[in-house]
Structure formats: structure tokens, C-alpha cells
């Protein structure tokens, strides 16, 4: 496989050129493209409308970056976590989250994560590599199929909030999303896709410039520079002021409402002073604030916010006429909740 090229790294024009070198039949590139991106086949042998000779030629020159599911865990609340394994034996997780009538897929974009947020299990794994666009696409394609098999429903939403920082893998994430939105593929509406970032300023501006129609969510977790740097080292590179400017730029260009994710950590970021800073930070544009309950475990450094602090925090924000929701983390018992991916999973040995 090493000397072979990943065929899903090619765009359509590149594929046409490669196919021209292998066959005189011009229409073959379109057929191969359809197999790869509409039917998501992972073996050239399955491309049944290609002649055998061409299938062999393709197999000699290229490989398809397919994924295997090597482990599955189901929570009491029906959330299901899947452990994917790539060809080069790296592992990462994707989660199916049923809620009312919707099935949401939470997907990964990197093998582990370089940002090392102190409340997050993924950050502790040690970053390995970006996922390719083919792997991100394949992950969503597979989760959609599993959703149909298990819940009798296609995916309703995709949140790019699993392992990794998506804006550090911008091109591959973008390519995968484009394929997912293609009407010949899953025909997924951009309105039902949310990308969550820890605050990569250039990436947020690029999303605005590229006029992506998907939703943007910011993992904020504190609106105080000192505290944010303590729990999210990326804040030392992109402080709150630079993040605010990027968000403003994004809003001015797209006019889209931003969502903020805020993990309530007892005694750290859950005081009324923290709530005040949060409302001041977020007033720059229309927004929605998702507060998330922290999943405390025996070895965690942090604790969950008390009931009283949580209620006071919510009341303070509501009194400022901001939209706020308290999200109960799903899949806690299988470590599929926010910040838990890869936590205590003995199968995880990248
Ligand atoms: S919270 Fe997100 S950005 Fe931070 S380490 Fe975990 S996966 Fe990376």
C-alpha cells in the first residue's frame, strides 16, 4: 500500500487525468468517481461496471482509505459509540446520539488532538495525524448506514465535535462535507451540519471568506483570558480579543448566529462574575449559549458545578435576554459524552 496513492485524495479533475493515463475511455473517470463518492465502495473489485483490466490497473496504482469498525458500545440512553480503525491502524471514535425524533452523528476529524484542553480525554492521547477527506466522508457514510439499520432513520444532524480540532484540518473537512452535501451522495443540508472549534482564528475567518453554509460553534468554556488559558492552552496563541475579532468578522460576512459551548466546571468558571464575562463576550453578535454539565470521573481534575451555581448562572444569562440551554451530556456511562472520547477505553492504543 505504501507506494500506492490514496485515490480519494484526488479531486475530479485529477481523477480524470489519472484515468486518461490508464484507459482511452473518457467516461470511466465519472464511473470511478461515482463508486468512490456516491456508493462509497472500498474495493476496486466492487466497481462492477469497470472492465477487469481497469480494476486491476487501478488496484496496482491506488488504494482506498477505508475504515473498519472494531468496537461498539451502547449507553443506557441509547447513545452508541463506534471505534473506527484506519488502514494504518489508527483509531478514533464516532458517536450516534438519538434524541426525540433526531439522530445526530458526532464525528472526529483528527486522530487524537494537538490542543490538549485540560478537561478533555482526547487531548491526553497524543496527536497522531489528520484524518483524510476520504476517512471523514467514510465515517459519516458508515454512521448514516448504521443509523438506518439501528434506528430506522437517516442521520438528521452532523456535529463536527468529536476527536480533534476541525479547523486544523480545514481542507479535508471541507472536502468531506462537500461530498456529503452532494445530491448524488447523502444530499445533506448544510443547515444541519455544525462545526465546533476551540477558536482557531484564521480558520474562523476562512470559513467566513469561503461562505460555508454550515453552522459555527465556539468551544469557549471561559470568557476570562487567565482561566481560559489554564484549561485551553490554545488561548495563549489566540486570546479572547483575537477570537472576538474573528467572530465579529464571521458574523459581518455571514450574518449567521454563533453557538457557544460552555462546560460548567465547579469553582472554576461557574460564578456570577464568570457569567457576566460570558454575556459581555457574547454580546458582539446574535448567539445561543449551550451550557454543558461536566462529567465527573474519579480521576478527573475538575468537578461538576453545583445545582445552585448552575441555576444562578442560567438565570443571570436569561436576564440579559440571551438564549441559553443546559445540555445534559449523553452517553456518560460509555464515555461518549463531551470531552470523554477515548476516556478509559482499553481498545484505544494508537
Ligand atoms: S476539547 Fe476539542 S480541541 Fe480541546 S483537546 Fe479535546 S478534542 Fe481537542
> Considering only CA atoms, which of 10, 67, 54 is closest in space to residue 33?
10
Q: Which of 110, 113, 233 to mutate for ligand 1's pocket (most ligand atoms within 8 Å of CB)?
A: 113
By CB atoms closer than 10 A (0-12, 13-18, 19+), residue 49 is exposed
Tell me the three state secondary structure of residue 54: helix
pLDDT by residue, tens only, the chain of 350 residues? 568 999 999 999 999 999 999 998 989 999 999 999 999 999 999 999 999 999 999 999 999 999 999 999 999 999 999 999 999 999 999 999 999 899 999 999 999 999 999 988 887 888 999 999 999 999 999 999 999 999 999 999 999 999 999 999 999 999 999 999 999 999 999 999 999 999 999 999 999 999 999 999 999 999 999 999 999 999 999 999 999 999 999 999 999 999 999 999 999 999 999 999 999 999 999 999 999 998 776 667 899 999 999 999 999 999 999 999 998 767 766 666 556 666 555 565 55
CB 223 within 8 A of CB 188: no
What global pTM score does this model have? 0.93
CA 260 / ligand 1 centre spacing (Å) = 15
In sequence order, what E strands does the chain have? 5-6, 62-63, 68-74, 80-85, 91-99, 102-106, 110-111, 129-130, 157-160, 193-197, 215-219, 258-264, 287-293, 323-327
β-pair partners for 103: 98
Domains in the chain and their CATH numbers? 5-63 (1.10.150.530), 68-334 (3.20.20.70)
Which ligand 1 atom is nearest residue 122's CA? Answer: 6
Amino acid at each position: 500500500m505504501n507506494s500506492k496513492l490514496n485515490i480519494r485524495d484526488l479531486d475530479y479533475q485529477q481523477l480524470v487525468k489519472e484515468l486518461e493515463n490508464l484507459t482511452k475511455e473518457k467516461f470511466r473517470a465519472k464511473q470511478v468517481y461515482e463508486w468512490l463518492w456516491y456508493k462509497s465502495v472500498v474495493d476496486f473489485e466492487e466497481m462492477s461496471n469497470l472492465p477487469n483490466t481497469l480494476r486491476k490497473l487501478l488496484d496496482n496504482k491506488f488504494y482506498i482509505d477505508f475504515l473498519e469498525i472494531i468496537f461498539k458500545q451502547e449507553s443506557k440512553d441509547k447513545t452508541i459509540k463506534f471505534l473506527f480503525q484506519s488502514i494504518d491502524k489508527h483509531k478514533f471514535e464516532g458517536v450516534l446520539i438519538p434524541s426525540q425524533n433526531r439522530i445526530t452523528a458526532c464525528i472526529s476529524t483528527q486522530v487524537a488532538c494537538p490542543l490538549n484542553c485540560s478537561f478533555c480525554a482526547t487531548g491526553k492521547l497524543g496527536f497522531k495525524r489528520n484524518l483524510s477527506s476520504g476517512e471523514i466522508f467514510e465515517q459519516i457514510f458508515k454512521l448514516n448506514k448504521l443509523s438506518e439499520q439501528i434506528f430506522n432513520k437517516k442521520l438528521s444532524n452532523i456535529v463536527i465535535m468529536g476527536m480533534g480540532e476541525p479547523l486544523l484540518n480545514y481542507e479535508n473537512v471541507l472536502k468531506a462535507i462537500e461530498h456529503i452535501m452532494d445530491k448524488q451522495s447523502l444530499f445533506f443540508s448544510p443547515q444541519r451540519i455544525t462545526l465546533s472549534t476551540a477558536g482557531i482564528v484564521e480558520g474562523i475567518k476562512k470559513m467566513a471568506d469561503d461562505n460555508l453554509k454550515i453552522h459555527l460553534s465556539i468551544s469557549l468554556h471561559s470568557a476570562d483570558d487567565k482561566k481560559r488559558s489554564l484549561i485551553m492552552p490554545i488561548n495563549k496563541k489566540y486570546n479572547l480579543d483575537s477570537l472576538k475579532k474573528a467572530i465579529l468578522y464571521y458574523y459581518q460576512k455571514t450574518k449567521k448566529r454563533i453557538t457557544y459551548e460552555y462546560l460548567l466546571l465547579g469553582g472554576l468558571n461557574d460564578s456570577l462574575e464568570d457569567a457576566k464575562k460570558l454575556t459581555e463576550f457574547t454580546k458582539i453578535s446574535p448567539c445561543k449559549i449551550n451550557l454543558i454539565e461536566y462529567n465527573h470521573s474519579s480521576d478527573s481534575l475538575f468537578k461538576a458545578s453545583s445545582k445552585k451555581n448552575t441555576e444562578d448562572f442560567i438565570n443571570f444569562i436569561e436576564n440579559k435576554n440571551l438564549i441559553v440551554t443546559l445540555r445534559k451530556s449523553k452517553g456518560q456511562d460509555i464515555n461518549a459524552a463531551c470531552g470523554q472520547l477515548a476516556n478509559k477505553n482499553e481498545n484505544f492504543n494508537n
